[in-house]
Amino acid sequence: MINGKKYDWEDVSIMLPSGLAVGVQEISYSDEKGIETLYGRGSTPRGYTRKNYSASGSLVLDRDEFERFKLAMGGSPYTARPVPIVVNYADYDLPPIADILPNCKFTKVETSAKQDDAGTGQMKLEFTILEPIKWGGMPAY
């Protein structure tokens, strides 16, 4: 469809260990499987070797959503076992898509607040994904 409706923020739902998250401001995730080029004589690569797969992400939650999440994690995101995060994209005109972030281990929590900041108290959580992301249900690697 050309010039038709595409997925937007209203079409995204995020499942955390605490249930369907309603106080999510942002989610970001990525993965990579790098290569390293091998050189010999001359200036062009002769081949390559494969590097390790890695995946990570971040999540920005309203403070009340973070408190529910923290309780579901046993009080601390750092001491909890790795958990899945599921990001669903669904709209009436488009096929549903689910990205599965399996075994997320939280590595950093930060917040900030300032005068006239409407989002005061939002919590940013960073995590490492310990298994390949399932993009649309299909493993990346």
Where does the chain show beta strands of DSSP type E?
A: 12-16, 19-21, 24-39, 45-61, 83-91, 94-111, 123-129, 134-135, 138-139
pTM: 0.88
Provide mean pLDDT across the span 33-52. 95
pLDDT tens across 94-139, in order?
788 999 999 999 999 999 877 777 767 899 999 999 999 999 999 9
